[in-house]
Amino acid sequence: MPVVTQPVVEVCDPVQSPDLGAASIPAHVAIIMDGNGRWAASRGLPRVAGHREGAQAVRRTVEAAIRNGVGWLTIYAFSSENWRRPASEIVDLTGLLRRYLKSEIKELSENGVRLRIIGDRTRFDEEIQADLARAERETQRNTRLNLTIALSYGARAEIAAAARAVAAAAKAGELDPAKLCEEVFEGFLHTAGTPDPDLVIRTSGEQRLSNFLLWQAAYAELVFLEVLWPDFDEAHFAAALAEFARRDRRFGARAG
């Protein structure tokens, strides 16, 4: 990812308290898509079959987000740790990514979806990097839904990269370290310009964040679903939204 540099900041704006009376539909939903391998194994199929079905679940989820008025959707497609998987599975996953980019971008654009990629894309081959850049470029003017795909992404690596960028900006005289605050630091993250997620969904019954949006999800509501990702559909999405609507979000403030 390119380094985002900030101008010298004299005064950080005070942190504004969130609107506790905000609408019950989350502005930003982030999803940890888990369970492709178990879905395939339970059917005696190779893991790649689970990944293929998982791609169909992504399409359903994008459609559900649009229908429910969600403006921002982030999906955790490939973590930095996933590079440790067997080489054959990496080939399958990158092949699916290449096909997805070629087959879905036109439809995404027609539906007003803007695509953004976060993570260390330099670990992919040059052809995929070019496909990613082209997909972002071709959808950049769309405004109906902002779809972010986390690829080769790890939150700790993201925060460490941001810290290095802050240090470089300070060394260059572009930033006074004494003036550094959360809002300025966020400008150095991969997600600069993206609102923090209101709701994080994880499928497959596992209950952990797995190095996903650790900074950004500080006050997100977490919903864990038993469904395996390839079976995730609009009903599951709606159930997560309903659970979100029941939550009392105080952002550290006292109740009542």
User: Which residues are catalytic, by number?
Assistant: 34, 82
| Cα distance between residue 157 and residue 212, in whole Å | 10
**65: closest CA among 151, 139, 144, 150?**
144
- Six-digit token pair at 1? 């990812």
Q: How far apart, in whole angstroms, are the C-alpha atoms of residue 211 and residue 201?
A: 14
Q: Give the span between the Cα atoms of 209 and 155, in whole angstroms.
A: 10
CB 30 within 8 A of CB 217: yes
